Structure 1
Amino acid sequence: MGFGKWNGFGGKIEAGETMRECAARELFEESGLKARPEDLIPVGDLYFHQPSDPEWSHAGIVYFVKVWEGTPAETEEMQPKWFLPSEFPYEDMWMADRVWLPMILKGERIRGTIYFDKDGETVYDYEFEDMDQ
């Protein structure tokens, strides 16, 4: 899923983990960077919904981290690359990322649902609210 697209670090939660622990583990596994779970700042609580395939639908928490240790390195799972916000390769990202990522980069903290068409790529609708409400 997502092969060939620019993506953030992430993955599936393991038994006994909190969401923050999962995000910190995935960050390390995919980049070699170490962050403490308590240093992860939640900025997005998203549900990716595909009505034609409920097994594809999934939730995710988006975190920012400003404090970490290590140097980014290529792993079996990912070749990390950093972009300036003004130079994000949106055309090579998921269509949904083009909707929510600019919002959180502007400092919004969002919660919402993104609706996908049957092809699993096309976004046909979305709804967001402020996470702090």
Structure 2
Amino acid sequence: MSRPLVAVGSVIFRKDRVLLVRRAHPPNADKWAIPGGKVEFGETLREAVKRETLEETGLEVEPRVLMAIIEVFREGYHYVILDFISEEIGGNLRPSSDAKEVKFYSREELDQLDLTSTTREMLERFWQGERMPFMITEISK
């Protein structure tokens, strides 16, 4: 691949709980992460957040605030992910073909989950009060 792939994520809170999906496909199969995916050609970031969230979780959202910019360099690919705090505005929670499970978890429950490293870092930095947006870089070999 000669260029980075652009992706978006949707961080959705219900009171003190955050929505996570258990990924169905590689590269993070069976790991828990926030819902999201690649931006399609000609699609705005806002449209991509709405589409990906609906596809993976059944929820309709409105992206509100840029939370984090995440770069992931991993064997043969480079992602730039823009994660937005999104407001839930409708829909019915259910997993899709890209997600094995979807569920809201408390901060305390996250320790029991196999989270992607960037999801864990992003949520911890947020809960510790770090100013947004912040950047996270993961380089794996």
Which TM class, normalised by the smaller chain length? 0.7 to 0.9
Count of paired positions: 113
Q: Is this contact kept in 2: 1:44–1:104, CA < 8 A? A: no
Paired with 2:67 and 2:49, the residues of 1 have a C-alpha distance of 13
Quote the residue 1:18 is aligned against: 44
Unpaired segments ≥5 residues, structure 1: 119-133
**2:67 matched residue in structure 1:** 43
Cα deviations by residue, 1:27-47 (Å, 9 ceiling, x for unpaired): 0001111123xx432111111
Structure 1 residues 111 and 81, CA gap change in structure 2 (3 angstroms): same
- Asked if structure 2 preserves the Cα contact closer than 8 Å seen for 1:47 and 1:57, the reply is yes
Q: Mark the runs of 5 or more structure 2 residues left unpaired by the alignment.
A: 1-26
The offset of 1:113, in angstroms, is 4.1
For the residues of structure 1 that align with 2:73 and 2:135, how far apart are their CA atoms? Answer: 10
**Which residue pairs with 1:131 in the alignment?**
none
CA RMSD between the two structures: 2.0
CA distance in 2, matches of 1:67, 1:106: 23
The CA distance in 2 between the partners of 1:89 and 1:71, in whole Å, is 26
Aligned to 1:130: none
Q: Match of 1:88, SS? A: helix
From the CA coordinates, give the structure whose radius of gyration is larger.
1
Identity of aligned residues (%): 23
Correspondence for 2:95 among 62, 70, 74: 74
Deviating beyond 4 angstroms after TM superposition, the runs of 4 or more aligned structure 1 residues are: none
Q: Is the 8 A contact 2:32 2:113 kept in 1?
A: no
Three-state SS of the structure 2 residue aligned to 1:65 is: strand
Change (3 A) 1:22 1:90: farther
TM-score w.r.t. the length of structure 2 is: 0.69
Instruction: Point out which structure has higher relative CO (alpha carbons under 8 A, 6+ apart).
Output: 2
How many angstroms apart in 2 are the aligned matches of 1:73 and 1:3?
18
Q: Deviations along 1:92-116, whole A, 9 cap, x unmatched?
A: 0122333222112334313324232
